[in-house]
Amino acid sequence: MISKMANDAFKALAHPLRRDIVERISRGAATVGEVTRDFGVSKPTISRHLKLLEEAGVVSRVIDGRTHRLALRPEALAEVSDWIGSQRERWERLFDVVGEYLAERKERP
């Protein structure tokens, strides 16, 4: 079953703005400025969403002088990703079976 932490990760990713933030970090954006540029929402709103991502352990922040650097913490997402993988595996297996069945049918006279 899903642990408390993974559930936090689900919740952390349950908002389009937070998914955008995660995606930008995954593409290499590093500073808070880069990550939150051009969202067209207020700074307090951005801060609230960032805080939620940090609390869920999905994003970490390192303060270096005046620069705040953000990084993804893949371990917080691993359980979520495993769960998606197990769902996918079930269906991939059905695709495999359909493929085998079609191949056998072809061989039949």
Residue ranges binding another protein (CB under 8 A) = 1-2, 7, 10-11, 13-16, 19, 22-23, 26, 74, 77, 80-81, 84, 87-88, 91-95, 97-102, 105-106
CB of 98 to another protein, least distance (A): 5
Q: At what angle do helices 4-12 and 74-107 cross, to 10 degrees?
A: 90
- Separation between Cα atoms, residue 78 and residue 81, nearest integer Å: 5
CB of 63 to another protein, least distance (A): 25
CB of 66 to another protein, least distance (A): 29
Nearer of residues 68 and 72 to another protein, judged by Cβ: 72
Nearer of residues 66 and 90 to another protein, judged by Cβ: 90
Q: Is 60:71 a contact under the CB 8 Å cutoff?
A: yes
**84-87-88-91 Cα dihedral, nearest 10 degrees:** -170
Nearer of residues 63 and 94 to another protein, judged by Cβ: 94
Nearer of residues 67 and 101 to another protein, judged by Cβ: 101
Burial label for 101, CB within 10 Å (0-12, 13-18, 19+), is exposed
